Amino acid sequence: MKLLSPRLFAAAALAALGLALLAGCAAATAPLGTAALALPTAAVSMAERPAPGTVMPAGMPLVATSAAATATALPYPTPLPQPPTPTSRPAGPGGLPFPLKTDRLNVGVAAHLFYTDRDTPLAMARDAGFGWVRQQIHWRDQEGPAGNYVWGELDPIVESVNAYGLKLLISIVRSPSFYTENGSDGLPQDPASLGNFVAALAEHYHGKVHAIEIWNEQNLAHENGGYVSTDDAGHYVEVLKVAYERIKAVDPTIFVVAGPPSSTAVNSAGIAISDERYYRAMYAYQNGIIRNYFDVQAVHPGGSANPPDTLWPDKPSKAEGWTTDPTFYFRHIENVRKLMQQYGLGDHQVWVTEFGWATQNTSPGFEFGNQVSYEQQADYIVGAIRQANEQYPWVGNMILWNLNFGPLKASIGEPMHEQASFSILNGDYSPRPAYLAIQRYLGDLHAQAR
């Protein structure tokens, strides 16, 4: 099933964005007051939603909407004939079932916990009913020189998350430059280097890290050293394979999460490969060997200003702009699931490791948020969780973007930044309507489960 039609780009748009995607997201481990809060998660996965015909400003990826110029079409990997999804789960590492699954829908939240107050946001995460926290780390900040692991601020973060009774998902990005072919911070040239790191991570935090996500939105050029092609999907599978084996050798209970391609229709080597093409290339590589080397597939759906029950073209949103492609919608996860089933991966759960809705903000490229009130944000978030709980038995975990960027951005004088607009907390840590709505809904879910 072809999910997205190929998109064509205006030459001016490509020129403007070729460098923009490489613009910096500073290290996640830097102190507040620096550019540390410009994490790749929000600026990447929630940014690729320009209005039709709009050229995105610097720092934001582009979803192509113009046919004014040509772009090279990339061939789809040929789907492989697949056996039916097995009805029984074979034994995996440590004699545990393979692949690992949650027994019901889990719900968590992404937080920034480096060099900031951790007690307040973690207490609020727990009190809202979240069960997981997702913290992204920059590998380059945790290792150097080669083989010398520097855990630093990550130690108290891990301890704090566990002290509040929350499970921890670590998302790994940004290689040390000495491990990449061109000195960038994309995927490592030798998969063994990441294997060594994740083994050390799993050992150092044994029993305290519950899931490890291997990379973030690796179909974006700036997450892959400045250039990306469908061939890179095969290299990613090799990296994932080694990481899986090394993690499971240390702690087979850790969920190994296959990295989430960013939801985009772009096909330009200096910007991005569409998520459909990238998924297909991953799943077809070497006759589908990926099936043996991950537990769950992470997915990052869009949202824009579109309610969670809408989807292009079947049930399009009535919002203004950002509506004419499936990648603008939360329900795009259904398309990803169809791909997984097509390639014989139906026994693996989907984890939505970023989803959310922006509200009013002044960040270029996130104007869709100005159509979403705080009350609508609350309705859309709870609606998405309810939808997954009632209609998507194959979704095992949902991680909301985000918890505490409202207070963090306010503390450095940027209360209207797009990252703050996704937050469910105000600048003074008071709850927004979304926080309270989530708290009520999750409270009901937990009561039903007892």
Domain boundaries, the chain: 98-449
Read off the pLDDT of each residue in 62-90 and give the average, rounded to a whole number.
44
What's the topology of domain 98-449? TIM Barrel (3.20.20)
Residue that the structure tokens 């550019």 belong to: 35
Greater confidence (58 vs 271) lies with 271
End-to-end Cα spacing for the chain: 40
Sign of torsion, CA 369 374 380 386? positive
Output the CA angle 376-108-240, nearest 5 degrees: 120
Distances in Å between the Cα of 98 and the Cα atoms of 93, 132, 285, 291 are 8, 22, 20, 10
Ranking 21-25, 146-150, 164-168 by mean pLDDT, the lowest is 21-25
Q: What is the DSSP string of 266-314?
A: --BTTTB--HHHHHHHHHHGGGTGGGGS-SEEEEB---TT--TT-BTTT
- Predicted pLDDT of residue 449: 84
Reduce the DSSP state of residue 425 to 3 states and report it: strand
Side chain identity, residue 307: P
284 pLDDT more than 70: yes
Greater confidence (203 vs 15) lies with 203
CB 395 within 8 A of CB 376: no
pLDDT tens for each residue of 71-83: 344 444 555 545 4
CB 279 within 8 A of CB 339: yes
**What is the pTM for the complete model shown?**
0.84
Distance CA 18, CA 127 (A): 43
Reduce the DSSP state of residue 393 to 3 states and report it: coil
Question: What does the DSSP 8-state code read for residue 328?
Answer: G
pLDDT tens for each residue of 339-379: 999 999 999 999 999 999 999 999 999 999 999 999 999 99
Distance CA 259, CA 345 (A): 15
29 pLDDT more than 90: no
Distance CA 140, CA 27 (A): 9
Residue 342 exposed, middle or buried by CB count within 10 Å (0-12, 13-18, 19+): middle
**Beta-bridge partner residues of 32:** 34
